Chain A
């Protein structure tokens, strides 16, 4: 069973608008949640994280929201830029290791 799910394989938004990427999880023992961005031919790059005891964390244009009751988190990018076009992975941390979702490909159109 997949403990971390990203149900939207792709998302397309216009430059300057908001991008919202979603992630659901099933394991209540996850204590940190993280987002990574991946460009082709490179490894994933860490973007932002949130502790399970918080419901929001912000870093510049990136904000992550956590809804523990719904076991759902989302990444908001405002404003979106063409350079944000990449694959975004949600990950959840438990007992020292991270479990990743299958990613959402974000395309930001100029």
Chain B
């Protein structure tokens, strides 16, 4: 297993455009998380899935953000009508729900720049 993969690594988009990011978790992990990180801050929770069910979505997340995890495998995060404030690193992580003490395995992230 090659770990958690995120695609693309970098994305530059014009304000108002839609973007979609993909995350492929570790296959044995049933939980998948999306976080956002800006410079000088820690990862900020966006949403998470257990298998294909989205269990929680941050109240900080506007309706422009949506995430899916069809069939409990890969996940996509879509941002509609992007704004400059959406510029950040978007991190995906996966974990085993029965071993929270093992922590998360993070991908390398997708860096979004909205111009």
Which residues of A come within 8 Å of B, CB atoms? 4, 6, 32, 34, 36, 41-47, 49, 51, 89, 91, 93, 95-103
Which residues of B come within 8 Å of A, CB atoms? 4, 31, 33, 35, 40-45, 48, 50, 55-56, 91, 93, 97, 100-109
- Cβ contact of A32, chosen from B42, B45, B100, cutoff 8 A: B100
The docked-state distance in angstroms from the alpha carbon of A97 to that of B33 is: 8
> Across the interface, which residues of B come within 8 angstroms of A45, CB to CB?
106
Q: Is the CB of A46 within 8 A of B42?
A: no
Q: Is the CB of B100 within 8 A of A102?
A: no
> Across the interface, which residues of B come within 8 angstroms of A96, CB to CB?
31, 48, 50, 55-56, 97
The docked-state distance in angstroms from the alpha carbon of A102 to that of B105 is: 18
Q: Is the CB of B104 within 8 A of A98?
A: yes
* CB-defined A-B contacts under 8 Å, sample of 13: A6-B42, A34-B103, A42-B108, A43-B109, A44-B91, A44-B106, A46-B102, A46-B103, A47-B103, A49-B103, A89-B43, A97-B33, A97-B56
Interchain nearest-CB distance for A108 vs B (Å): 21
Interchain nearest-CB distance for A31 vs B (Å): 8
Q: Is the CB of B108 within 8 A of A41?
A: yes
- Cβ contact of B108, chosen from A34, A43, A103, cutoff 8 A: A43
- Cβ contact of A99, chosen from B45, B100, B104, cutoff 8 A: B45
Q: Given A43-B4, A96-B48, A97-B56 in contact, is the A51-B42 Cβ separation under 8 Å?
A: no
Interchain nearest-CB distance for A63 vs B (Å): 15
